[in-house]
Amino acid sequence: MKRSEINQIIKNAKAFMAEKQFILPPWAYWSIDDWKKNKHQAEEIINNMLGWDITDFGSGDFYSRGLFLFTIRNGKFNVDKKPYAEKIMIVEEGQETPMHYHWAKMEDIINRGGGNLVIELHNSTSDSKFENTPVHFKTDGIQRSVNAGGKVVLTPGESICLEQGMYHRFYGEPGKGKVLVGEVSMVNDDTSDNCFYEKVGRFPEIVEDVKPVHLLVSDYEKFL
């Protein structure tokens, strides 16, 4: 992805979050100089990969297959005491996050506003294939089930609990507008806890055609 494209995605995300009155912490808006001044005080942010996160999953087409995320808080296994994480995400109409599950993380995915979020579900086998069995889950504490590959539509305010080993892919329902999506979960580790059904790239290679407006979580090692 080009840095200019990433900068524009961040600009659009700021506008959408402001429209929905979702406010990020002050450090979200730091420049590179701000980061360098505060690096030692902000070690938890750097080490636990908090902050801006944009991926096209290696597709080369962010708006068809991609995701905007901002990790607000996160612990780190065997390092600190925090056992939970929180993210805010923006999902465009028809923009796919490909099928995957987590070995360790259990999470709630929450529609915080905007359009509708469509989630497709499968159980997984021990060798990470699709299990052809009904998927049992809860939305806001209500027990539900769908057949293998079934769809769940979350309207604003609704959430779903996704357990370990539960395959899921999601996208914004076409015609309903982009979606502000929250995630509340156990500790998040995007370097080792994502099992994608097909091979994808989690963090993009960036062409530095302009300067970054804000650092991504994948930029910390490079710029700091």
**pLDDT tens digit string along 7-39?**
999 999 999 999 999 999 999 999 999 999 999
**pLDDT tens digit string along 163-205?**
999 999 999 999 999 999 999 999 999 989 999 999 999 999 9
Proportion of the chain in helix, strand, coil states, percent, rounded to 5: 20, 40, 45
Q: Tokens at residue 144, please?
A: 């539900």
Q: Which CATH architecture has domain 3-223?
A: Sandwich (2.60)
Confidence of residue 86 (pLDDT cuts 50, 70, 90): very high
Contact between 97 and 169 (Cβ < 8 Å): yes
Place of tokens 């993380």: 105
> Is residue 78 pLDDT above 90, yes or no?
no
Cα distances (Å, whole numbers) of residue 207 to 7, 43, 60, 190:
12, 26, 12, 22
> Residue 197 and residue 189: Cα distance in Å, rounded?
18
pTM of the model: 0.97
